[in-house]
Structure formats: structure tokens, C-alpha cells
């Protein structure tokens, strides 16, 4: 499990079914189906386990390809059962993946990039300097590693430990759309990992031009990191809002495929003390999203060293939630998970980069004119 996959061997994990067929030149088509089944349904991690393949084919595959998992360079378990894995890829880059067990489900929070090019002021990942897109292979591998460690193979129809996937780890998935889409098609494939699109949620900070395509091509649930009810405030805490202001973002949400049938959009709203948590913010938010089938997830801010923000008080969060509920919106308050291992929303940042960290000044309330 802990071996580092070689740079020379090409990964088979992450190839689409067509790409897999294309590399198996001269091999009968049904072999590709068998290989797919071994990798994604049975979850084997070596070609030797593919016992129904001819030996020479197995040898050829071994010489050129790898189905090894990334190295797990750290594994932590929180007091509340949340687990966090630091995965290391052959080029030395690392990302974090988090498993959150609950009574009736088990959710994997996957990363889409090493770090993030965006710089949302309240997010630890946004302070990481080194950034690159994850390949489809690296995204799919996160799900496979989780299934390995949870002993959740072969793919089950019932009593799975890992039931849901959220793209809420490191990175902005819609800035790596192609690889995320390819990975998701593999993750949703019914002959393999087989996660229903209803059990997958993609969270975006608001990359407007990619949202419609995501809905049409993938049909997964959409979560929008809204966090502020007007452009002025949103731009201060999410600089991307300058490029894609709220009107455009809300319009594209209104038209997200599925909403016409009542499928709900999730709006995420991080509760930042004295920044976005007043009664008037709640009222403005209600006006903003009027008419969109939606729920609002209130996320108590998860602190990290030097952020400059504080979490809103519990009383404030409850009042905020009550106002939204009164207006007809479900607005659950997310229970922070894995805080003791820095695994909660927005706290992810690879350890290795912490050593050479890029220090960002704490958020300056006076300069931002928030009081």
C-alpha cells in the first residue's frame, strides 16, 4: 500500500473506457471489460490478481502500466471518527482527502487541485502557493484509496461504508473541469465504482461559465459557495466575485439543469463573526435567492492560524438559520467535523507546503471597511 507508483509506468486508473480500449491493441474487446471490472468493481491493486486474463497479457500490462494507488504519507483519525489522508503523487505533490462517517451515510471529501489558484480570504487552501490540477487518475484514486482502507470492495449495492462524494476538498473543481468530468464519469460508471449522480455534490466558488456545462454533462448536485448576499461584501471575501458577479451567478443557478424539476441547489454560507452574519444579511440573502429551489448550509467558520476571522457565535448562527427557515429555506447548521486534525471545511492544506508556507496577512477589517 505504501509503495510509490513509478513515474515511468503509465496509470490505467483514470482512463475512460474508450481510452482503455484504444491502448489494448490486438486484444479482444471483452478483455477491456474484464480489466475495467477488476480495477473498479473488484478493486484489485495488482495485475496478478486479474486471474481470468491470459498470463502474457498480464505481463504486458505490468511492464507498461500501473494500477497502484498513490502513497499515503499521513493518516489521521479524529475523535469524532473523521479520517484524513495525505496522498503523495509520484512528482512529490500532496493533497488531502477526508472521510466523514455519519449515522446513515459516509461521505468522502475529495480534492480537485493541489492548492487553489483562488484566494478566498477565509480559506486555508487559498494560501498555498504551489498549485497544479489533479489528473483524472489522481481524482479517481482518492475514491479507490478510501474504498481500500474502509474495506469497501467489491462495489456493493447495499451497506456501503462510502456512500457519498463531495468535491469540497482542496481546489476549485470548475477550474479543472476536464479532469473532474473524466473522473466523475468513471466514478459514476455502473460497471465499476457506481456512485449515483444524486450522491455526488460539486462545490464551486462561482465559476459561472462552467456551471451550465457541469449540469448538462454530469448532472451532479451543485453547491455554491455564496458566503455573502451582495457584491460589495462578496468581492471582499471572494475576489472571484469581481469577475463573475452575483447577478450572473444567481442567473446560472436559476437555470441549472434539474432545478425545473425541483432539484435543489445548495448555497454554502460560512458564518464569519461581524462580517456576514447580521439579520439584514439574512434578509438580503432571502431576497437574492428568491424563486430558486435551494437549501442553505450554514458553515461555522473553521479557524486556522493567522486568518483574521472569527466564528459567529452559536446564538447568532441559530438566529440566522431561524430567519432563513421562516422564509421557507432549509438551513441546517453544519457540525464541524475533524477539527482536532484540521480536517474541517477550508482547513485543508498539505503539510509539506506548510513548511515553506506563503504567509498571507490576516484579513484587515478596517481596510475592507467592514465594521
Q: Under the rule (CB under 6 A), what is the footprint of ligand SAH? A: 120, 122-123, 168, 172, 203-205, 225, 268, 270, 299, 301-302, 345-346
At its nearest, how many Å lie between ligand SAH and the CB of residue 183? 15
From the list 123, 214, 253, 345, the catalytic residue is: 345
Contacts of residue 4, defined as CB under 8 A and 6 or more positions apart, other chains included, come to: 70, 71, 88, 90
Binder of residue 98, out of ligand SF4, ligand SAH, none (CB less than 5 to 8 A by kind): none
123 binds ligand SF4 (CB under 6 A): yes
126 binds ligand SF4 (CB under 6 A): yes
125 binds ligand SF4 (CB under 6 A): yes
Q: Which of 109, 120, 223, 324 binds ligand SF4 (CB under 6 A)?
A: 120
Site for ligand SF4 in 66-85 (CB under 6 A): none
Short-list 12, 17, 79, 15, CA closest to 47? 12
116 binds ligand SF4 (CB under 6 A): yes
Give phi and psi for 92, each to the nearest 5.
90, -10
205 binds ligand SF4 (CB under 6 A): yes
Q: Is the bond preceding 270 in cis, omega lying within 30 degrees of 0? A: no
Which residue in the block uniquely carries the three cell numbers 495488482?
A: 46
Return the number of the residue (35 or 265) whose C-beta is nearest ligand SAH.
265
CB 290 within 8 A of CB 344: no
Short-list 239, 241, 246, 205, CA closest to 222? 205
Please give the DSSP secondary-structure letter assigned to residue 273: T
Return the number of the residue (50 or 233) whose C-beta is nearest ligand SF4.
233
From the list 68, 94, 96, 172, the catalytic residue is: 96
What are 174's three cell numbers? 470548475
Q: How far apart (Å, rounded) are the C-alpha atoms in residues 65 and 127?
A: 35
What element of type H or E holds 21? helix 17-23
| Residues pairing with 72 in the sheet | 87
Return the number of the residue (100 or 348) whose C-beta is nearest ligand SF4.
348
Q: Which residues bind ligand SF4 (CB under 6 A)?
A: 116, 118-120, 123, 125-126, 171-172, 205, 225
Residues annotated catalytic, as ranges: 96, 345
Amino acid at each position: 500500500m505504501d509503495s510509490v507508483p513509478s513515474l515511468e509506468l503509465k496509470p490505467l486508473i483514470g482512463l475512460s473506457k474508450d481510452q482503455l480500449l484504444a491502448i489494448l491493441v490486438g486484444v479482444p474487446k471483452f478483455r477491456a471489460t474484464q480489466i475495467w471490472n477488476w480495477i473498479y468493481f473488484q478493486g484489485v491493486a495488482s495485475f496478478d490478481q486479474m486471474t481470468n486474463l491470459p498470463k502474457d497479457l498480464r505481463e504486458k500490462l505490468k511492464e507498461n502500466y500501473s494500477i497502484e494507488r498513490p502513497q499515503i504519507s499521513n493518516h489521521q483519525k479524529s475523535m469524532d471518527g473523521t479520517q484524513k489522508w495525505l496522498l503523495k503523487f509520484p512528482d512529490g505533490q500532496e493533497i488531502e482527502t477526508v472521510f466523514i462517517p455519519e449515522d446513515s451515510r459516509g461521505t468522502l471529501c475529495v480534492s480537485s487541485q493541489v492548492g487553489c489558484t483562488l484566494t478566498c480570504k477565509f480559506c486555508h487552501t487559498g494560501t498555498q502557493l504551489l498549485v497544479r490540477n489533479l489528473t483524472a487518475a489522481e481524482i479517481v484514486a482518492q475514491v479507490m484509496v478510501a474504498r481500500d482502507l474502509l474495506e469497501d470492495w467489491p462495489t456493493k449495492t447495499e451497506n456501503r461504508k462510502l456512500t457519498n462524494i463531495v468535491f469540497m476538498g482542496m481546489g476549485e473543481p470548475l477550474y479543472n473541469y476536464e479532469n473532474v468530468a473524466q473522473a466523475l464519469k468513471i466514478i459514476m460508471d455502473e460497471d465499476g465504482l457506481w456512485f449515483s449522480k444524486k450522491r455526488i455534490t460539486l462545490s464551486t466558488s462561482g465559476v459561472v461559465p462552467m456551471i451550465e456545462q457541469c449540469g448538462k454533462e454530469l448532472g451532479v448536485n451543485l453547491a455554491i459557495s455564496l458566503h455573502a448576499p451582495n457584491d460589495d461584501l462578496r468581492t471582499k471575501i471572494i475576489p472571484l466575485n469581481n469577475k463573475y458577479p452575483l447577478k450572473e451567478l444567481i442567473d446560472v443557478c436559476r437555470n441549472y439543469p434539474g432545478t425545473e424539476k425541483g432539484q435543489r441547489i445548495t448555497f454554502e454560507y460560512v458564518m464569519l463573526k461581524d462580517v456576514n452574519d447580521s439579520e439584514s444579511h439574512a434578509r438580503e440573502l432571502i431576497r437574492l435567492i428568491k424563486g430558486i429551489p435551494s437549501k442553505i448550509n450554514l458553515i461555522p467558520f473553521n479557524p486556522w492560524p493567522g486568518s483574521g476571522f472569527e466564528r459567529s457565535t452559536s446564538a447568532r448562527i441559530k438566529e440566522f438559520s431561524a430567519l432563513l427557515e421562516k422564509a421557507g429555506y432549509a438551513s441546517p447548521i453544519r457540525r464541524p467535523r475533524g477539527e482536532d486534525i484540521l480536517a474541517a471545511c477550508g482547513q485543508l492544506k498539505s503539510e509539506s507546503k506548510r513548511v515553506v508556507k506563503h504567509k498571507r496577512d490576516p484579513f484587515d477589517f478596517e481596510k475592507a471597511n467592514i465594521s
